[in-house]
Structure 1
Amino acid sequence: MEMTVDIRNKFRNTAKMTALSYENWQIAKARGLVDLFVHTDRVGHSLPGTETKFVNMSSYSYLGLNRHAAIVQGSIDALLDEAITGLAIAPTRMRPSLARSAEQGLSDLFDATCVIGLSCSVMTSALLPLVSSGHLVDGLPRVTVFDRHAHFCMEMVKPICADEAPVLVAPHNDINFLEDICKREQRVAYVADGAYSLGGTTILRDLRYLQDKYGLFLWFDDSHSLSVLGASGEGFVRSQLDEVNPLTVISASLNKGFGCSGGVAMLHKGFDTSFLNTTNGGPLTWSQSLTTASLGSIVAGVSIHKSGELLELQQNLQSNIRTFDEAYPTALAGGELPIRMVTTGDAQVAMDISQRLLERGFYCAPVYFPITPRGREGLRVMIRADHRSEDIIAFADALSQEVSTSAV
């Protein structure tokens, strides 16, 4: 009699996640804290059909570039010039010339071979399995180790990676755990965030040491530091590397600090992009790709990043971060990244505070499992360069009052 081995839920368990998290999402929606439809004007946001107006304190457009006139105009000009929303053909067959301009502009800006896609998640689902299979280097599989705090867009790809090579999960930023694997296995890849969505960074210096010693392949999602850090806005990881070598890939969303839409992967300068465009690009080669408007905004965004305005925006952001830290110190105070966590330890308390803040004119998102570990629920504050200092101070004062009221 043939035996059937149950291998379900080794790297994904929808039933468990739903049981542990869906109720919180339902409660948050019932309280008007998620799944909102808003109207935006030049000042802020409002909820249609109500008198509620608010400042968004949980927006990840850290430099405010999603409102920048040049980026908006870049989208408009591209649509008017091309007179088409998109080519409506698989990019394997044909791509807009604007796509080449966008990729070349990003490649020059970040001093790497840059590939763009519909989103950072699409980039990840296309390329990360090729890390496990080894086809981004030499076609030989690599044991793939995911940091326990790696972003969900990478976590989602675990089952696919596990079809190519053994997949392991490492405790967060545990260099000793990772080195033990490097000693045991000849070929290893490590998957992590550069800057984490709840604050903090990867241990880059230690990881580079392991790469030099053992040939460790490094994949970083650095979405939350792109544009925020680096002389060209290249982000936390890229700003500390002399070059992107063949054993390193940096992925990032262009929807956050960069202010546009889409995703980008930075690869080494000798990488042959035709390998992705024709053979193994997966989601990168399917029919839905970046729109004409999106490509126009990326080209405009590159121009801003090459100008003196980038430094001005980065300085404005750092000034606003200091303003918040002085008004409401948190465990992450003093850091250059714009994310601050206010931990409540209870999802309902976080929602209570968030709801009262919204009534006072500030949206600050409550976060809970699976965004945070259970017991580390709270509110996530995200500072922007275009926040007014008086709004930051007023928000910090309101936050302090509401947290005190909740006795957190």
Structure 2
Amino acid sequence: MSDRKTITPTHRYRNNDKLIGIGNAFWNMSEANGVAGIVGDLADGVFTMADGHHFVNFTVCSYLDLDTHPKVIDGAIAALRRFNVLDHCIPRTRVQTPVLLELEESLGELFGAMVISAVSTAAASTGLLPLIASGHLGNGTRPLMVFDKNAHVSLANAKPSCADESEVVTCKHHDLDYLEDMCRTYERVCYVVDGADSLGGYAPVKELADLQDKYNMLVFYDDSHSLSAYGQRGIGYVRTHAPILDQRTITVATLSKGFGAGGTAVLLDGYPQATRRLVERFAGPLGYSQKMNAAAVGAALASAEIHRTEELDQLQGRLRTNIAMFDSLLDTEQSGESYPIRLVPMSDDTVVNAAQQVFAAGFYTSPVFFPIVARGTAGLRVMLRAGQTEEQIRRLCAVLVQAGARPAAALDGPGPR
């Protein structure tokens, strides 16, 4: 008998046994039924698989279809020629070409903030949140780190490193009463939350601003799902509605979704330039040699220019029209709201088969299940985009109803139009 020690995990901040043990069964089922692990070529908004099957992807985060915009593609190519390098692999704190500086200046003007770029939102959050926990990004006070229960995994994964610098707790989704209790108890609190949820819905930014004003609470938002799709010049939900845009509000937002490019923008207000150096040197991945390459920067620069024109307003208008069209045909909890994500309810037992049925009809909607969503709330995730046609939306909704979705109230009886 071995006398070597075995390890009993604490599972204080994550539980891979639970995550993989439960979630992997659904992933395996999805892949076995052909609704995960799909490969196809994209042309004119339609995917074509090797077997000839065609489908329209209704689960993609490029809400304005800027990822296929000719100016964005040309911008990526032109940047490679202009800067003569793809990725100069050295930390920018030591040596850098002007490529990132040009992008950050452009985005700073667009969003009205000091912008620091990162290769991804996960990298940005991984680097920034421990600096907040230690008080080095903030007012010097170590805050209680309160993570929203539904915070994206890219945020939640920072819990262990934050716990080495401060205390970490998890609260119910948008639990304002709990937050106020913590603000009364602790000298300072930082609330970590999505500005726009990946399954639909916005953070209560105005109510959170009241707590910021009353208790000096800091809020760390990931507003990736609303950037570009929402607000004048696509500044996103948080910057459109948050009345407090100073050192108490820090926002990260990917440039890979609605912005149609790649990388991430860290938006800081009221911080001195010395903060930029602190972040670049000590915010983990932001200080590594992994950063946005010239092609991603060129695409982002081109997208930023589109954001300064009437074309962005037109694209946002088409997106709103398509959202309203979908809501007129199908009933979801998100109906009537402005965000482009809809979760079509299904049971755990039927969601994969429903996704398979929809896919066979020429549309991809991703089945989501625990641990992506809470147990018993499985469904098909639908993302509306500016480039989808009325015919595509009507056909999709008709197929979803056949798969078990509930038609909009006005359509009960005769079925989808």
Q: TM-score category by the smaller chain?
A: over 0.9
Q: Secondary structure at the match of 1:302?
A: helix
Change over 3 Å in CA distance of 1:404–1:70 after alignment to 2: closer
Could you report, residue by residue, the CA deviation over 1:78-132 in whole angstroms, capped at 9, with x for unpaired residues?
1122232111212221223121111111111111111111001111101011111
Match of 2:97 in 1: 96
Match of 2:374 in 1: 373
- For the 8 Å contact 1:353–1:402, the answer to whether it is kept is yes
Match of 1:120 in 2: 121
TM-score of the two chains, using structure 2 as the length reference = 0.93
Partner of residue 305 from structure 2, selected from 303, 306, 331: 303
- For the 8 Å contact 1:112–1:243, the answer to whether it is kept is no
Match of 1:21 in 2: 23
Match of 1:317 in 2: 319
- For the 8 Å contact 1:362–1:395, the answer to whether it is kept is yes
Identity %: 35
Match of 2:276 in 1: 273
Aligned amino acid, residue 52 of structure 1: H
Match of 2:246 in 1: 245
Give me the CA root mean square deviation.
1.6
How far off its partner does 1:20 sit? 1.3
Match of 1:135 in 2: 136
Instruction: Please list every run of 5 or more consecutive structure 2 residues that lacks an aligned counterpart in the other structure.
Output: 1-5, 407-417
Distance 1:23 1:130 in 2: 37
Match of 2:292 in 1: 290
Aligned amino acid, residue 162 of structure 2: C
- For the 8 Å contact 1:62–1:383, the answer to whether it is kept is yes
Change over 3 Å in CA distance of 1:389–1:223 after alignment to 2: same
- For the 8 Å contact 1:111–1:243, the answer to whether it is kept is no
1:130-209, aligned counterparts within 5 Å? 130-209=131-210
Query: How many residues align structurally?
Result: 399
- For the 8 Å contact 1:112–1:244, the answer to whether it is kept is no
TM-score of the two chains, using structure 1 as the length reference = 0.95
Match of 2:235 in 1: 234
Distance 1:136 1:275 in 2: 9
How far off its partner does 1:269 sit? 4.0
Change over 3 Å in CA distance of 1:132–1:404 after alignment to 2: closer
Change over 3 Å in CA distance of 1:174–1:123 after alignment to 2: same
Could you report, residue by residue, the CA deviation over 1:214-267 in whole angstroms, capped at 9, with x for unpaired residues?
010001111111111110101111111356201110111111111111111111
Partner of residue 329 from structure 1, selected from 309, 328, 331: 331
Question: Once structures 1 and 2 are overlaid, which stretch shifts more, 243-252 or 107-116?
Answer: 243-252
- For the 8 Å contact 1:189–1:217, the answer to whether it is kept is yes
Match of 1:390 in 2: 391
- For the 8 Å contact 1:244–1:266, the answer to whether it is kept is no
Change over 3 Å in CA distance of 1:339–1:115 after alignment to 2: same
Change over 3 Å in CA distance of 1:139–1:5 after alignment to 2: farther
Aligned amino acid, residue 119 of structure 1: S
Distance 1:113 1:202 in 2: 22
Match of 1:57 in 2: 58
